[in-house]
Chain A
Amino acid sequence: MSRTPWSILGIGRTADAAAIRKAYAARLKAMDVDSDVEGFAQLRQARDHALRLARNLAATAEPAQPEPGPEPKQGDEPEFGPSPDAPPRWTYAAPQLSGDWSRADLAARPGEPDDTTMLGRMAWAAAAAREGVSGAGIPLTTIDPFTAPFLPGNHTADDTLGLRPGETPAERLAILLDPERETAGEPLTEAEARQATRALRKILDDAAQAQITRAQQIEDWLAEVLARGWPRSAPLLEDANAAFGWEREWAAHDARPGVAFLGARLRGYRFQQSVLQPGHRYHKAWNELVRPGRASRFRMLRGPAQGEVDSLLRGMRQNFPELETHFAPERVASWESGNPFASGLLIFFGVIALSIVIALANGSSSRESLERDTRQAMQAAVPEAFGEGHDSSWLWDKQPELAGLLNAQARTLLENGDSEAAVVDKVVEIVRGRSFLNGRELAGGDLDTAMHLRLAQLRAAQSRSVAACIDVRNSGVLHGAIPLPEHLRGQERAFAAHLAETGRLGRPKGHGERSAMVPGRLIDQVVAATRLSRDTVQQAMSGKGDDAAGCAVTIALLDRTLAWQGENRREILMTL
């Protein structure tokens, strides 16, 4: 069945690109593409595949050591397998994780009889925009922000930029927006904003005059720096957007992740700017929600109308979820718990208040019961995720952001008619995802625990299906409904509680594509454990090949690496 590109092209294995093209041309002329669409697609694929193989062949045929490099390391090269033409070490391509906690939940939902859904993956950018992740979580191209692709002239004379001697505007901007910077949690100061704007203008001028390749590099670099630097980069977005026309791209289904991310943020930023104007429809509601503390019981007398707060929250969560971080969670919660007068206080307000309450009652009673159910579900879910002895108020105390997220998830599920059990599953899933994503960045025993749990999850998923296993590998999360042995659940809970206790269950920091060198000895172990061929293992490690092998190799590699005490242990674990 499986024909090689060479047999389709009708030539022998070769590194000669011209011969491949010639063979392709000859086959193409012999066929009628319009009546043999499949054949044409096959031929095209075979040609492209053969050209890729030819490039690799050519690369390995040539000794790739034109100049003397550092002394070759001793020891680990020779122990690698016998095949002479295989590269001495393989790079394991880590699957890209989709940011924070979970992918879109494609569970069935009643009441929408005439829609279709795609069996597949949602665009990352779209999901990210809705989940409100920080820019640091974006899987970009891992350009080092400090190695700008351009070094425009010598700007030392320009004091207005605040450049240090020898510093370029690009470097200045990268430093100002560096997410690792101490002040990264605060907006740019006025002086910083001035510097950043001037540096940006210089960079944009440079891009406008540059040739296409360089202009593209500048654009890619800038998109990355601005995305990573979000939200500090907010005041700079409009200028960059105007210069590169990102607005046209970000609505595209295949927009680059950085651009899509910035597009979604810029829309939110514009909304925020306008809502801060006193004339805005939701100005009052916004001001109310940003004040810390609980809402006043007498808010009905002054303050915004419940309807305004509701529609602001609804609209914002739908369109700019990241803006919710501006609100005081407690105040939001008290507004969402409904009308305070529906309880005991109404008698003090006599008939007028009563009539208002009746008008509101229908809306608020369902909201109230929803809040009650949410609280109840959370009471069941938190011990399930963190172990007995932990409750919602403990979580609000230790990790308020996570508590808010879980609460919102629970409410949404219940609102859609899901059961309490579904809420528990979801909460377990989110906590599990965060434990893994955060734990993986740690060192020592915590890293080991996180990866041991990950291994257990992958195995549990594998025993269900290959697809589930791949799903866990790619998303970083085992669905709450797939059972894990009870002793592992206990470990999982203890680990999550331990992380939460020390405040390490926050939004995971994202990272770009990761890779690590896998030593030959370790690969031998994986080959032995999986009983797959060396080629299959190699393919699986570089992210190719079929899913079953990919799953088995991931599990074996994780298992073996945990037992391994040699070099690169941590690096390899971090890619898994």
Chain B
Amino acid sequence: MLIGIDLGTTNSAVAIWRDGEAVLVPNALGDFLTPSAVSIARDGQAWIGRPALDRLATHPQDTATSFKRLMGTASTTRLGGKVYKAGDYNAEDLSALVLGALAADVEALTGERPTEAVVTVPAYFNDRQRKATRRAGELAGLTVRRLINEPTAAALAFGLQDKGDREPFLVFDLGGGTFDVSVVEMFDGVVEVRASAGDNRLGGDDFDDALAAMARPRIDPAHRLNALPAPQREALLKRAAETCRRALGTASEAEFALVLGEERLAAVITEAEFESACEPLLRRLREPVVRALRDCAIDASELSEIVLVGGATRMPVVRRAITRLFGRFPNASVHPDHAVALGAAMQAALVGRDAALDEIRITDVCPFTLGVEVAEQDGHGGLQRGLFSPVIERNTPVPVSRMNTYSTLGDNQKTLEFGIYQGEAREVRGNVKLGHIAIPVPPRPAGEVSAQVRFSYDSSGLLEIDVHVPASGVERNLVIVDEEDRPGRKELDSRRAALAKLKFHPREEAGNVAIMARAERCYEDHIGDVRQAIGHWITLFAGALDTQDPRRIADARAMLVARLDEVEIVTPL
């Protein structure tokens, strides 16, 4: 079975194509959104999703969130015990756990274990980040049939609502960790992405950080938070910021508060203060919009809609900035958290050639420039090395195949070396290196031997390079795929085996596990009498669990949920 997954920075979701439409799949707790959070205890017990997020407050050392921002980097997070490699998990491992949980949700709903998936990535994810995402799928036992850009998926979900023609519209996708802009057009069943641009280091998390940075000196003038271990301090601030930011979505001021030991530190933040703290971030929203519009030569006034996607677009400050930017109100008709997963399921149906979508085609673009490293003579006779020579310009429709010719620079030069890069900088050191290819050339005077370099980029973002030297007839080929830089199948297998050793709660216990994590988090969030009361309720619930009597457990759980709801509404935290 082929499923569509939105693997987000903050939340993830899974959808399937059933009876001619895309349907979201609920997780074990009945929610459509599964927080992208993983918590692993010393004994290898693992929590994924909502309970893991709650454990961030109680067990910050064991818990990881926002790991998508580390995708494609060597950074690892140390969690829990020594499950493998001293408990260091990289973003792929953690993402694989989330993907696995989503696949299990689909299995629970349909009775069939999915084996293939379409996974969404930010349009502005570079090649490394895309490969890492693909590997995460494999670690979770899913063959990633296609990676689709998030704004493209959202555009599908938006555009296929009525399948009618649409003038160019702009998808404004501000997620938890990444920002993408795509200009899309629809006509006669063709969904055409005209241009994409983005900032893969800008998202809702940054707004939280800005808020925390502003509030921290106010609630903690004596720097007492510095005494805490970093993970705990970050977790406290992050939670406080998130809560405060949400409250500011509906009120003109909100409390930024956290509990330190037996004390509650708090300050009131007004919307205006928040807005000015976000000013530098709001300014960064402009550039990708400008770039995307410029690349497809469309004026902002020609856009028929500004479609909002991504949880961070719910923030009033962001909406105001967008309204100011475009001089009109954006379209919030698609669900900002669901659209991407639904679009992924539609893409899955397209890949699977579902009859209901027979008349739909989608064409996307390659959002980055791809090229090779060259050296050139400059006007003063000096040699400038490390320059980037584009072969495929950004925002070219894919699939695409382009050829450039390069020649030798030295007499009797023996080989031509091509560094393959992705990016927009004029000098290669500002770009991402994807690979390297060398080809022997016959010894001749400089400039007399040339090589033809062909780049082919397919719809899944797979890049293939062919180099041909006409003078000698020699050819070389380089396929930039996962196998090229991956630690080898063996290691992948061992990592998969190590992940399999983790202990997961049985699905039927998911509700109990989640409420327990939440209660413990509430205990941390409060002080005084409330805290004591919560402690008492936890004991009662634990007692009910011990009886193993499903009825008593269900009753105790319902009561605990009601009490916690009451506590969390009454107090600001």
Contacts and interface: CB of A to CB of B under 8 A. Distances in A.
Contacts of B407: 116-117, 119
B198 to A, nearest CB: 13
Interface string A115-127: 1111110110011
14 contacts: A18-B187, A24-B188, A25-B188, A26-B188, A33-B459, A37-B399, A104-B379, A114-B417, A117-B447, A215-B286, A254-B390, A255-B426, A412-B382, A413-B381
Contacts of A253: 369, 371, 388, 390, 424-426
B472 to A, nearest CB: 15
A105 interface: yes
Given A211-B326, A216-B290, A116 B382 contact: no
B162 interface: no
A115 B284 CA distance: 38
Given A28-B363, A104-B379, A113 B410 contact: yes
A3 interface: no
A213 interface: yes
A444 B471 CA distance: 52
Interface string A81-115: 00000000000000000000011111111111111
A111 B399 CA distance: 40
Contacts of A251: 425-427, 430
A408 interface: yes
Contact of B410 (A28, A111, A248): A111
A55 interface: no
A28 B359 CA distance: 10
Given A33-B363, A33-B399, A412-B382, A117 B405 contact: no
Contacts of A284: none
B202 to A, nearest CB: 12
B382 A318 contact: yes
Contacts of A22: 187-188
B373 to A, nearest CB: 8
Contacts of A102: 379
Nearest to A211: B327
A107 B287 contact: no
A122 B376 contact: yes
Interface of A: 18, 21-22, 24-26, 28-29, 33-34, 37-38, 40-41, 44, 102-120, 122-123, 126-127, 130-131, 208-209, 211-213, 215-216, 245, 248, 251-255, 317-318, 321, 408-409, 412-413, 415-416, 418
B409 A41 contact: no
B377 A106 contact: yes
A412 B381 contact: yes
A255 B430 CA distance: 14
Nearest to A33: B399
Contact of B399 (A40, A113, A413): A40
Nearest to A131: B379
Contact of B377 (A109, A110, A126, A317): A109
A413 B397 CA distance: 44
Contact of B426 (A109, A126, A209): A126
B445 interface: yes
A106 B326 contact: no
Contacts of B383: 109, 112, 115
Among B286, B405, B459, chain A packs the most CB atoms within 10 A around the CB of B286
A115 B427 contact: no
Contacts of A114: 410, 413, 415, 417
Among A113, A117, A212, A255, chain B packs the most CB atoms within 10 A around the CB of A117
Contacts of A26: 188
Given A116-B416, A119-B450, A104 B377 contact: yes
Given A108-B411, A212-B290, A115 B379 contact: no
B325 A118 contact: no
B444 to A, nearest CB: 10
Contacts of A248: 287
A213 B286 CA distance: 11
B549 interface: no
B374 to A, nearest CB: 5
A253 B361 CA distance: 32
A44 B396 CA distance: 11
A413 B407 CA distance: 22
A113 B413 contact: yes
A415 B381 CA distance: 9
A349 to B, nearest CB: 36
A130 B427 CA distance: 15
A131 B381 CA distance: 11
A122 B412 CA distance: 24
Given A34-B459, A118-B374, A123 B426 contact: yes
A477 B390 CA distance: 27
Nearest to A101: B379
B408 interface: yes
Contacts of B401: 37-38, 41
Contacts of B413: 113-115
B37 interface: no
Contact of B411 (A110, A131, A216, A415): A110
A109 B379 contact: no
A41 B457 CA distance: 12
Given A212-B325, A213-B300, A29 B187 contact: no
A115 B397 contact: no
B86 to A, nearest CB: 38
A118 B418 CA distance: 11
Contacts of B369: 253-254
A151 to B, nearest CB: 17
Interface string B273-286: 00000000001101
Contacts of A120: 389, 404
- The 6 A-B residue pairs with the shortest CB-CB distance, nearest first, are A108-B446, A25-B188, A115-B375, A211-B327, A113-B410, A412-B381
B456 interface: yes
A212 B300 contact: yes
Interface string B73-117: 000000000000000000000000000000000000000000000
Nearest to A41: B400
B399 A116 contact: no
Given A25-B188, A109-B410, A211-B326, A104 B378 contact: yes
A26 B287 CA distance: 36
B458 interface: yes
B324 A209 contact: yes
A321 B380 CA distance: 10
B381 A105 contact: yes
A253 B116 CA distance: 39
B406 interface: yes
Given A21-B188, A118-B406, A109 B380 contact: no
